[in-house]
A and B are shown apart, each in its own frame.
Chain A
Amino acid sequence: MFFEKLFSYHEKFLRPPGAVPEKEFIDRCIRCRKCQQICPYQCISPAGALHGDAMGTPVIQAREIPCYLCMKCPPVCPTGALKTDIQKADVRMGVARIDRATCLPFQGIICRACYENCPIYREAITLDQEIYPVVHPEKCVGCGICEHVCPIEPSAIVVESSASRNED
């Protein structure tokens, strides 16, 4: 479609918990900012006008403020862009990926920041040989707390959003 070509941004935004697939999300979301305003951590901000048709939609910048999975935003969504009945463990905002080239334990420095802070504790991130962090995609909710707490710059663990318009 014309508009899809015009706004073929290949950005993969990290959406709030419970978000429907990206293409549907763009149509459903009415940019009302309620999820942003209910968030006690202020982790949600609207996408800018340069993002084309995604303008005004809620985005989480996990490195700055991650989602703490308080689950206050899905119930306030009036249009069902965020599914209201979602449970914390069923959230799939994205999957964390570790860059072994920069991740401290792989360089011989002990660090357990992501492992210790993961809200799906000892399930989404485990330690291989008690040293090397491993992400389990089937358990990872994509909240981005690991990305937020990673002590190196840029973060060695980054959440790759599951919101993609090109997959289907």
Chain B
Amino acid sequence: MKSWILRNLTITRRIAQLTILAMMFIIPYLNVKGFTGVIGTFYSMEMMGIPIVDPALCIQTLALMRELYVPLLLAVIIPLLAALALGRIFCSWACPFNTLAEYAQMLRLKLSPNKRIQAHNPAQIGHYLATLCLFMLALVFTFPVITFLSMPGLLTSQAADLVFLGSLGLELGLFLIIILAEVVIGSRFWCKYACPVGATLSVFRTGASLKVTFDASKCTCQKTEIYDCQKACPLSLNPRKKGIYPYCYNCGACIDACQRNGRALSLVFIHQKEHVKPLQRKMEEVNG
């Protein structure tokens, strides 16, 4: 089972994404019917009595209130542990905005296949700059601006409002503007440069977190303009080069593409070479 998932990352991920899109409506529907085992949105949820809060919103509330509210701190443990171990897996596997933006981008490439943008890894700071500005803005104006710009929260709460009240809010306009701009520009700028939810999760990535690695010696691809792995990346990053983090959200699309080629790309927790090298050296010493 585990190896099947690793060999079919994209199919598994699509199933997870579509399940979450469906759950956005099914769970509020069950809530209306009286089921309260799972409540909430991607701002904050409660599953069987265990509260979970978006770390970005937790930091915003702590900053605005200048108070260490313990229940709030406890509620970010699960998302933080997930981010520490697996990176921004929430973004690639669960966030409904990313799902819709990926499909919008796929549709765009079907309609005009020549307008693919060059795969490259931007400078790290670009990922955090907008979020830093947003946190400053929230503090200066004492205004919870992150809440209004959290796309997963906005989409799930609008889905819940649709089920509960039968109506949608004007907030949805913001989502439509962003996704339309992404399609017109052809760049996934929101998830890469703007999203405060994703940027906050990126902060908690460590050297031992799950990551994509490229082993050039295994690559069997012919030298081309654009490699399969680059073509597969929904954020148009270049997994053959260093510096895909903090932009990469570990979706595994490049690894899936590499399965058909040399399997040079893989998901690992710790760079294996670093482990192997001292051992090899020792072996050589013993043999030599």
Q: A-side interface residues toward B, CB under 8 Å?
A: 1-3, 24, 26-34, 36-38, 40, 42, 45-46, 48-50, 53, 55-56, 76, 78-80, 84
Contacts and interface: CB of A to CB of B under 8 A. Distances in A.
Contact of A49 (B53, B144, B169): B169
Contact of A36 (B45, B65, B164): B164
B154 to A, nearest CB: 9
Interface string B66-79: 00010110010000
B43, B72, B171 pick with most chain A CB within 10 angstroms: B43
Contacts of B57: 30, 79
Nearest to A79: B61
Contacts of B125: none
Contacts of B142: 1, 3, 27
B72 A27 contact: no
A78 B160 contact: no
B252 interface: no
Contacts of B46: 34, 76, 78
A28 B65 contact: yes
Q: How large is the interface on B (under 10, 10 to 19, 20 to 34, 35 or more residues)?
A: 35 or more
A33 B157 contact: yes
A31 B165 contact: no
A26 B144 contact: yes
A31 to B, nearest CB: 6
Interface string B44-72: 11100001011001001100110001011
Contacts of A40: 34
Contacts of B65: 24, 27-28
B41 A53 contact: no
Interface of B: 28, 31-32, 34, 36, 39-41, 43-46, 51, 53-54, 57, 60-61, 64-65, 69, 71-72, 75, 141-144, 147-148, 153, 157, 160-161, 164-165, 169-171
A55 B161 CA distance: 13
Closest 8 CB pairs of A and B: A49-B170, A32-B44, A32-B43, A37-B39, A27-B64, A78-B44, A37-B31, A34-B40
A37 B71 contact: no
Nearest to A23: B142
A38 B39 contact: yes
A152 B161 CA distance: 31
B144 A27 contact: yes
Nearest to B137: A3
Given A30-B44, A31-B43, A53-B143, A37 B28 contact: yes
B141 A32 contact: no
B171 A56 contact: yes
B105 to A, nearest CB: 27
A34 B31 CA distance: 10
Given A27-B143, A80-B69, 13 more contacts: A1-B141, A3-B141, A27-B65, A28-B64, A31-B43, A37-B39, A38-B39, A40-B34, A46-B161, A48-B169, A56-B169, A76-B39, A78-B72
Nearest to B160: A33
B137 to A, nearest CB: 10
Contacts of B164: 36-37, 42, 45
Nearest to B157: A33
